[in-house]
């Protein structure tokens, strides 16, 4: 077996071991919090965001109802109802006859009063602060064949309180029409004018069908998505950001990352790839479910495969971007990553809603650098297809009558996501190597015949470690914060097959010395010479300050991760 195949085998073993380590911690040690993060929270957030349309929809029933007999005024008028009739001074005798015919059946049931003008009506029928009048209805006779002036035609106006009409309707419930005061009052007046007693049939109808009403309501909700509700939808992906960045930051802060490097797992590409593989496996079911939710609640016209594939690609790109973003800082890295992604998503929404459309190159650039921007661009594009009643076409610019949108197609934006999935890990590997690897300054590793023949395994010569106060603390304390010397000019040696113990009280520098030997901390002064490969120095380094993984589990994991040295 040549050297290249051995290196590949080692790299695969390292990747497998590190991936299993993450899965062990997240799925076994913290299974409940992982379940809530990767399934419960994303599904709940997206379902509530897209379910708003169900909360705002009315119970109105559209269509054409069945004919039924019109209600009679005397039968539907409530007891004690106030009915005002305005008979102007110039009204003819025919108006008086009509009024008499209308009010005669109501004298024992309603309070009827004849007024002279509308000003008197305002005084007799005031409206409370809720907009509800103090009367049942009012009729104003404007003209008649025997009245003075006018066109000598019957003309009257009916006024009814809007609170009596109700806010919902059902064309299939004819009994509900009886509660509408307009219909029986108009029928009574028309019967009196025509001197007729015939009761016609009536039916309720709407010019809009039930399907058209649902489509119009969905278009209004899509306008809400295009107006900023898409940012709430993007919040369903933030649990992934918290989880990925938080896990990486906690491992670095606790020293787990350096421990992996020290114990022979220092293949930076393997460590980065292990994060990607592990979290992609953990969150894959969530992305599939989220894609199905989009298809059923927001984009029923489009194929469910498109929304599911979009969620998976976005999830992969976000995972890669989070692993990349977590390399820059440890403290507050999680909240900073969330703020950055939300801020760029809001910026993308601002760009997409401008009257001047952005070019395809601008949309592609932001989509590559910030997956949250791509999320907004793609969601808005699919929403515009749904608003137009068309299935999503990933190869064409979405329709938007009267408004130009960004020129990048959904397929182009997906290619940008694929580029982000590949580019972010490559850049992350380079940063990991130079920023978060173990320190080799002052440490020398010797191999070969001379190192094998010597009896010394370790030589520590004049090693010093000094901790300096931060610039901020030195400024605030006026330079009174002096450097702290943890290890001062320590010199000792250890022979091969010798058990060496470092003894001392708490704070004497035992752990610091071990960190300097293994490279977890850098030397301030002195040198360390190790007559062995770098991978062997940390095989048995098992710090006790890592509660997420026990010594036994770490030892089992790194048995698979042993660097090849001719023996197994």
pLDDT tens digit sequence for 230-287: 999 999 999 999 999 999 888 877 766 666 666 555 567 888 999 999 999 999 999 9
CB atoms within 10 A of CB 144: 24
What's domain 68-198's architecture?
3-Layer(aba) Sandwich (3.40)
- Give the pLDDT confidence score for residue 568 in this predicted structure: 39
Whether residue 528 contacts residue 460, with contact meaning beta carbons closer than 8 Å, is answered with yes
Beta bridge partners of 170: 61
Helices 360-369 and 371-387, packing angle to 10 deg: 130
CB atoms within 10 A of CB 43: 16
Query: Taking the domains of the chain in order of start, what are their residue ranges?
Result: 68-198, 232-435, 443-537
- Give the pLDDT confidence score for residue 359 in this predicted structure: 87
Mean pLDDT (the chain, rounded)? 83
Radius of gyration of the chain (CA): 40
Residue 400's Cβ-side half-sphere holds a number of Cα atoms within 13 Å equal to: 20
Give the Cα separation of 307 and 46 in Å (integer).
Answer: 13
Whether residue 9 contacts residue 15, with contact meaning beta carbons closer than 8 Å, is answered with no
Mean of the pLDDT values across residues 457-467?
86
- Give the pLDDT confidence score for residue 321 in this predicted structure: 94
- Give the pLDDT confidence score for residue 563 in this predicted structure: 43
Helix ranges restricted to H, 161-237: 182-194, 210-224, 230-234
Q: Give the pLDDT band of residue 437 (cuts 50, 70, 90).
A: low
Give the Cα separation of 272 and 414 in Å (integer).
Answer: 23
| pTM metric for this prediction | 0.74
Which residue from 546, 312, 523 is spatially nearest to 438, judged by alpha carbons?
523
Mean of the pLDDT values across residues 29-58?
91
CATH of domain 443-537: 3.40.50.300
- Give the pLDDT confidence score for residue 438 in this predicted structure: 58
Mean of the pLDDT values across residues 102-107?
88
CB atoms within 10 A of CB 191: 19
Mean of the pLDDT values across residues 201-214?
85
Which residue from 120, 144, 140 is spatially nearest to 185, judged by alpha carbons?
140
Give the Cα separation of 518 and 438 in Å (integer).
Answer: 8
Mean of the pLDDT values across residues 487-512?
83
Q: Give the pLDDT band of residue 564 (cuts 50, 70, 90).
A: very low
Mean of the pLDDT values across residues 63-73?
84
- Report percent pLDDT > 90 for the chain: 36
pLDDT per position as a tens digit, 331-390: 677 888 999 999 999 999 999 888 787 888 999 999 999 999 999 999 999 999 999 889
- Give the pLDDT confidence score for residue 151 in this predicted structure: 86
């Amino acid at each position: 077996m040549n050297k290249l195949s051995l290196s590949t085998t080692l790299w695969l073993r390292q990747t497998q071991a590190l991936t299993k380590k993450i899965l062990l911690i997240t799925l076994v040690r913290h299974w409940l919090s992982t379940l809530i993060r990767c399934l419960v929270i994303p599904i709940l957030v997206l379902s509530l965001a897209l379910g708003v349309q169900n909360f705002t929809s009315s119970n109105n029933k559209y269509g054409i109802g069945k004919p039924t007999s019109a209600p009679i005024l005397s039968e539907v008028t409530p007891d004690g109802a106030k009915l005002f009739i305005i008979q102007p001074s110039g009204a003819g005798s025919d108006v008086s006859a009509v009024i008499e015919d209308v009010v005669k059946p109501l004298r024992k049931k309603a309070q009827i009063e004849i007024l002279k003008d509308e000003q008197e009506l305002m005084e007799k029928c005031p409206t409370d602060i809720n907009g509800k009048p103090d009367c049942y209805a009012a009729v104003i006779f404007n003209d008649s064949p025997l009245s003075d002036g006018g066109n000598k035609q019957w003309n009257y106006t009916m006024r009814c309180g809007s609170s009596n009409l109700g806010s919902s309707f059902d064309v299939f419930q004819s009994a509900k029409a009886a509660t509408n005061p307009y219909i029986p009052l108009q029928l009574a007046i028309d019967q009196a004018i025509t001197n007729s007693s015939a009761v016609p049939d009536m039916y309720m109808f709407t010019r809009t069908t039930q399907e058209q009403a649902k489509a119009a309501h969905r278009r209004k909700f899509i306008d809400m998505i295009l107006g900023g509700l898409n940012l709430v939808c993007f919040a369903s992906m933030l649990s992934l950001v918290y989880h990925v960045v938080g896990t990486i930051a906690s491992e670095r802060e606790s020293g787990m990352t350096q421990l992996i490097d020290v114990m022979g797992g220092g293949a930076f590409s393997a460590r980065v790839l292990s994060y990607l593989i592990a979290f992609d496996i953990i969150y894959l079911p969530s992305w599939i479910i989220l894609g199905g939710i989009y298809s059923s609640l927001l984009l029923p016209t489009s194929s469910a495969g498109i929304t599911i594939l979009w969620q998976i690609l976005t999830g992969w790109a976000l995972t890669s971007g989070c692993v990349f973003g977590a390399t820059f800082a440890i403290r507050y890295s999680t909240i900073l990553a969330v703020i950055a992604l939300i801020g760029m998503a809001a910026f993308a929404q601002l760009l997409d809603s401008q009257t001047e459309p952005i070019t395809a190159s601008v949309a592609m650039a932001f989509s590559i650098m910030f997956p949250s921007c791509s999320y907004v661009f793609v969601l808005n594009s699919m929403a515009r297809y749904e608003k137009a009643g068309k299935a999503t076409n990933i190869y064409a610019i979405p329709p938007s009558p009267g408004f130009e949108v960004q020129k990048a197609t959904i397929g182009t934006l997906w290619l940008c996501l694929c580029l982000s999935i590949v580019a972010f890990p490559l850049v992350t590997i380079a940063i990991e190597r130079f920023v978060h690897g173990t320190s080799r300054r002052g440490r020398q590793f010797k191999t070969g015949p001379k190192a094998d023949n010597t009896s010394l395994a370790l030589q520590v010569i004049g090693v010093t470690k000094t901790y300096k106060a931060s610039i901020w603390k030195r400024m605030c304390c006026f330079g009174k914060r002096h450097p702290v010397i943890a290890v001062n000019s320590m010199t000792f040696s250890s022979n091969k097959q010798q058990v060496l113990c470092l003894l001392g009280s708490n704070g004497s520098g035992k752990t610091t010395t071990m960190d300097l030997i293994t490279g977890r901390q850098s030397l301030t002064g002195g040198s360390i010479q190790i007559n062995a490969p770098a991978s062997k120095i940390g095989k048995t380094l098992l710090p006790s300050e890592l509660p997420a993984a026990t010594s036994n589990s770490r030892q089992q994991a790194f048995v698979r991760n042993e660097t090849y040295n001719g023996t197994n």
